[in-house]
Chain A
């Protein structure tokens, strides 16, 4: 990608949170990418500006809704998130490590799965629907308190098998257009595909507020949309395939700052 590389703008949110939007690629990407870039660097100046101030960023409205939910008692056990976890700020750094191996559950869990584990097993509450409003707002709250911290997802040990599965999916050419994630986001980032400026498809900015559908969007919904656009049968949000793909793609973002809730077009 030589013609239309990411722009040179620097991302500082609220004049104080300095974001790393460009980093040396993690070791596991050797031979694939030298540098990883946040999707923010590929957006227009107008779109970029919306993310630079929380008063302008509509994604912060979801964070506010989740702040109320944080202290709200739900379920049969009389608990709220706050009763066990204190203030949301105490969760700073947590989202940067997800998806993550959960030894007790014996599986790799996304942030959404971990929250739902707390809801169903500790609060006696219903799980949040995957990638829907309540879940997305709560993940936005959890990422907002980690903003500026580097993504640092572990891929070794018991997570390795899931990571390998995600990697295989990333390079699979799906659908009747036979396109893999890598075709667009590794081989051609920086290029225009019709009216879209291709980024590296990183997920350090999730959940993302998209100006196009005017709401916060989850990682799995985005993956699903990209797979649908290859004229393929998609996978469902929360499916083992998308969990594995999320672990793999998150590991490609290692080193970039957590930006969620970010703003994209």
Chain B
């Protein structure tokens, strides 16, 4: 379904700007039985440098919940999720893509937000305004941003 979905994703994107051309739409991502996603969401290699920025800023803000020693120059790392040091030794790229895109598939009921999902929310808001969301929701991270974050996570090796 992957290729076919691309066409749909592109038409969709033209209307909503939510999904970049050529990217797999959030609703079309294929998770395996464990929650891993084998195929790149964009076919474009992730940019680990941008992924590193997203760990700290914007809708990623992963270190709100996770500590990462390699980012120790940034202050205030959270303690809610596991420390991400050595995460690339524990997980494959496909696993990490699945976890970042929608961690709830792999970890049932987890507190970790789903970064590449646009439906199924209760009272979704318009970002942090407290007002109701207008129209279609954009995912928290774009498809390419998911790839960028995954590329950064793949640099977190201890062995």
Contacts and interface: CB of A to CB of B under 8 A. Distances in A.
Contacts of A230: 125
Nearest to B139: A176
A232 B65 CA distance: 19
A109 to B, nearest CB: 25
B122 A175 contact: yes
B110 to A, nearest CB: 10
Interface string A200-243: 00000000000000000000000010011111111000000000
Interface string B70-100: 0000011111100000000000000000000
A129 interface: no
Interface residues of B, number: 28
Interface in B18-63: 61, 63
Nearest to B127: A231
Interface in A166-184: 172-179, 183
B133 interface: yes
Contacts, number: 79
Given A174-B123, A176-B140, A233-B123, A183 B76 contact: no
Contact of A178 (B121, B131, B133): B121
Contacts of A234: 125, 130
Contact of B80 (A177, A191, A228): A191
A175 B65 CA distance: 17
Nearest to B61: A194
B2 interface: no
B64 interface: yes
**A-B pairs with lowest CB-CB distance, top 6:** A228-B130, A195-B76, A234-B130, A194-B64, A233-B132, A191-B79
Given A177-B113, A191-B78, A231-B124, 6 more contacts: A176-B125, A187-B111, A194-B78, A228-B130, A232-B123, A234-B125
Interface of B: 61, 63-65, 75-80, 111, 113-114, 121-133, 137, 140
Interface of A: 3-4, 172-179, 183, 187-188, 191-195, 224, 227-234
